Amino acid sequence: MATENKNLSAYDKASIPNAKDLRFGIVVSEWNSEITEGLFNGAVAALLDCGTQKDNIIRFNVPGSFELPLGCKKMIESQNVDAVLAIGSVIQGETKHFDFVCSATSQGIMDLNLQTDTPVIFCVLTDNTLQQAIDRSGGKHGNKGTEAAIAAIKMATLGK
């Protein structure tokens, strides 16, 4: 397990660029909201800790992870953000639906990264169980939202 020996919430603040003048969009899936709200809270806390002004964090909600790419595209087009975090949670079920949603979501987010100059950070948990999602959204492995926020700051300042 990739996160077994890593705390997703750990970062060295001294090595992170100051985010005071940056604007971030966060697009949050409403599906599995108990997980996505934890990821959102972790992301916001990290952005604020690294200097982002509260007014420079813009949130859009979308129904599910499959809708994240379009939500992110709309965020980029309308909000003048330096980076976007796509937050979702897909938990394995009994059908192939999981595979299709995960594949389409990751492909859509990657496409946005190649089609625009605005980084879109993949913060979509694709877990086998609800417990794994809980463990990665503020539980025993920390918070993937925190990790995604740090990635967003780094990508927003890349080359500057």
List, for residues 98-141, the tens digit of each pLDDT value. Answer: 888 989 999 999 999 999 999 999 999 999 999 999 999 988 99
Residues carrying an active site annotation: 97
pLDDT digits over 33-45, tens only? 999 999 999 999 9
Q: Could you tell me which of 138, 141, 68 has the C-alpha nearest to residue 110?
A: 68
Domains along the chain?
Answer: 33-156 (3.40.50.960)
* Predicted local confidence at residue 56, as pLDDT: 98
* Predicted local confidence at residue 4, as pLDDT: 60
pLDDT digits over 59-79, tens only? 999 999 999 999 999 999 999
Query: For the chain, what percent of residues have pLDDT higher than 90?
Result: 81
Ranges of H-type helices in 14-143: 33-49, 68-79, 97-115, 130-136
* Predicted local confidence at residue 1, as pLDDT: 46
* Predicted local confidence at residue 2, as pLDDT: 57
Contact 83, 153 (CB under 8 A): yes
In this structure, the strands spanning 57-62 and 83-91 are: unpaired
* C-alpha of 92 from chain center: 19
pTM: 0.93
Using CA of residue 92, residue 155, residue 58, residue 105, what is the dihedral sign? Answer: negative
Q: Which residues pair with 61 in a beta bridge?
A: 28
